[in-house]
Amino acid sequence: MKNLFDLTGRKALITGSAQGIGHLLAQGLAEHGAEIIINDITQERAEKAAGELVKQGFKASGIAFDVTNKTEVEKAVRQIEQEIGEIDILINNAGIQRRHPFLEFPEKEWDDVINVNQKAVFLMMQAVGKYMVKRQRGKIINIGSMQSELGRDTITPYAASKGAVKMLTRGGCVELARHNIQVNGIAPGYFITELTKPLVDNEEFTSWLCKRTPANRWGNPDELIGAAVYLSAPASDFVNGHLLFVDGGMLAAV
């Protein structure tokens, strides 16, 4: 019987995957058979992260490009397609956070957040999507957030960008599903990574978070791997435009 979760022979490009959630997803997809292409802004970090996978016997390479730069994105995607092979799975994971009260939020930092979290998803979906359409198959997974649905103090631009990720996912589904491309998203709750370090270190926040989350704890990033494997694999071939919340039940609770 066909293994619905087997990724053998599939190539997965994961943006911003030299560390954090992206790196764990790279590890998880590799363990399910995928060849991994790690992206980071610096070649050194991309190669180092890919090297860690290669040391474990997986196939992986690292490629540096800035996901917010259309020219760099198109050049890198072309290079991967020609030199490494067809991108079967794209995970738009690169993301940044900036925190300020809304009325004082600096315009420059608004632009930075929107460019990395929102515009880059558009650029990546467009660049890789064109190759996927030619092949009439592909999997695109966009990393959203609780803030795809919920607002929160001091991070309104982040919430605006992650709300947009939800709609890029639905819009992408509407336009690409007819080409046998599945565009879905994963919306992580609160996970312990570099991005959330200021919150993890804040006892008051951690106590609030545990009370607010039905599971009563922070998430461990490796608990996102199952969702990523599912949305990358044949198991999800008729799942499209869906945002899968992996949040310990947070969105279900008031």
* Region 195-234 residues binding ligand NAP, contact defined as CB under 6 A: 195-196
- Based on CB atoms, which residue is closest to ligand NAP, 79 or 180? 79
Q: Shortest approach of ligand NAP to residue 172 CB, angstroms?
A: 16
140-179 residues in contact with ligand NAP (CB under 6 A) are 143, 145
Nearer to ligand NAP, 124 or 233 (CB): 124
Give the contacts of 129 (CB within 8 A, at least 6 positions apart). Answer: 138, 140, 172, 176, 181
CB of 19 vs ligand NAP, minimal distance in Å: 5
Residue 184 found at the interface with ligand NAP (CB under 6 A): no
Compose the 56-75 pattern: x for residues touching ligand NAP by CB under 6 A, - for all others: ----------xxx-------
Q: Closer to ligand NAP by CB, 67 or 141: give it.
A: 67
State the SS3 of the chain. CCCCCCCCCCEEEECCCCCHHHHHHHHHHHHCCCEEEEEECCHHHHHHHHHHHHHCCCCEEEEECCCCCHHHHHHHHHHHHHHHCCCCEEEECCCCCCCCCHHHCCHHHHHHHHHHHHHHHHHHHHHHHHHHHHHCCEEEEEECCHHHCCCCCCCHHHHHHHHHHHHHHHHHHHHHHHHCEEEEEEEECCECCCCCHHHHCCHHHHHHHHHHCCCCCCECHHHHHHHHHHHHCHHHCCCCCCEEEECCCHHHCC
**Residue choice 27, 62, 89, 93 for contact with ligand NAP (CB under 6 A):** 93
Q: Is the dihedral of CA 244, 117, 200, 38 positive or negative?
A: positive
User: In whole angstroms, how close is the CB of 41 to ligand NAP at the nearest point?
Assistant: 5
Considering just the CA atoms, what is the radius of gyration of the chain in Å?
17
Q: Kindly state whether residue 22 participates in binding ligand NAP, applying the rule CB under 6 A.
A: yes
For ligand NAP, the closer of residues 7 and 67 by Cβ is 67
Report how many residues bind ligand NAP under the rule CB under 6 A.
28
Q: Which stretch binds ligand NAP (CB under 6 A): 53-61, 101-109, 169-177, 193-201?
A: 193-201
Contact between 126 and ligand NAP per CB under 6 A: no
230 included as an active-site residue: no
Q: What residue ranges bind ligand NAP (CB under 6 A)?
A: 15-16, 18-22, 39-41, 45, 66-68, 93-96, 116, 143, 145, 188, 190-191, 193-196
The residues assigned a catalytic role are: 158
